[in-house]
Amino acid sequence: MTNVIAFVLMGIGMAFNFFGCLGLIRFPDVYNRLQAGTKCVTLGTIFVLAGTAVFFGFTGTSSRAILCLVFILITSPTAAHAVSRGAHRAGVALWKKSVVDQYKKDKEGEKG
Amino acid sequence: MLRRVATFLFAAATWYLITWPYDFATGEFNIEISAAGLVVALIASIILGRVFAPVKHAHNILYRLFWAVLYLPILFFYIIIANLDVLYRIIHPKRPINPGIVKVKTSLKSASARTALANSITLTPGTLTVDMKENGVMYIHCINVHTEDLKQATQKITVRFEKILAKVFD
Amino acid sequence: METVILIFMGISFACCFLCLFRIARGPTAPDRTVAIDILGIVIVCFCALMAVLTGKDFFINAALVWSLVSFIGTLALSKFLEGRGLDD
């Protein structure tokens, strides 16, 4: 029974992983690719690690899997935030069909 | 002092989660590993205790813990919604995206509350925190921009987390 | 049961190749950084699947260490991007 739950969790996670990586190919600029990466791949890996924890039961291996899950849940948004700010400061423009960029407007206002 | 105690508890908890000295199947308790964990956590808390941010939220701790535990399922619900939304935009052949960077203003004061808010926003529907200023202005990249006005964007993006985070951290 | 795990590992390989395509193709440096970050998370997932397939627990140790090292590498790359942007 626990094995079935574990494999269902892993299956959901792998589906999220695959579509997240597909979004990495399909989306047009860095910021939208970050959206796909930070959400889908993080959630997919969290599901896979939760499935691993369920599979191993109440042992040291599953405690380590849960610790790894917490690390990924904390570090992934921080990395995405750092990369997006670095990209904007390095001068990577948004997609040409983007609606609005108030960050760039405010930075130019401070300079001039 | 309080910072050192917090660091000690955190380090000891991490050590016990990694090594897991108690075997539930046979009931054996490995006393050498747990004693080594206490010594290592003590050394780490003495050396590194003053590196971490000062503890400002020590009073009223049960109330804060209650709201923090209540916050997790709400956050998880919004993460699932976010993923289904982004998944729909990935699979749809026409890519129905409408991206842009909007500005919102948060009313939270403390640094840890703002960090938690920024991380929560990054994990939820089509939004990604790009930068944050000292006065509480945050720049957020949205995958689907509804409004460019500051107040309406604030209402739409941050308020649903702010209510609970204010109870946890402020 | 092993067949299911092998199918999942095949999907993980496909994810790795999609990330490698973005690393090779990516028009700008931040694109490559994002792809490297996501490749690290996919490898953590792969390590967890290996642990389930073989029943050995040291793959989980590898996953734990890999998640932290990948995070630090991504932070270093993004700081590098930011510093280069401030110069010009």
Q: What is the mean pLDDT of residues C55-75?
A: 88
* pLDDT class of B69 with cuts at 50, 70, 90: confident
Total domains in the fold of chain A: 1
pLDDT of residue B137: 81
What is the extent of the structural domain holding A63? 2-111
The fraction of chain B above a pLDDT of 70, given in percent, is 92
Rounded to the nearest 10 degrees, what angle do helices C29-54 and A60-89 cross at?
170
Chain C residues with CB-CB distance to A67 below 8 A: 64
Asked if the model's pLDDT at residue A71 lies above 80, the reply is: yes
Which tokens belong to A42? 């993080």
**8 Å CB contact of A17 and C4:** no
Residues 6+ apart with CB under 8 A from C17: none
Question: Which residue of A7, A56, A91 is in closest CB contact with C85?
Answer: A91
CB atoms within 10 A of CB B138: 22
The residue ranges of every structural domain in chain C are 2-87
**8 Å CB contact of A19 and B90:** yes
Model confidence pLDDT, tens digit, residues B97-119 = 778 888 888 877 777 788 888 88
Asked if the model's pLDDT at residue A78 lies above 50, the reply is: yes
**8 Å CB contact of B102 and A102:** yes
**8 Å CB contact of A87 and C28:** yes
Task: Specify whether the backbone of A57 is left (phi greater than 0), alpha (psi in -120 to 50) or beta.
Answer: left
Rounded to the nearest 10 degrees, what angle do helices A60-89 and B2-19 cross at?
120
Model confidence pLDDT, tens digit, residues C9-49 = 999 999 999 899 988 987 888 888 888 889 999 999 999 99
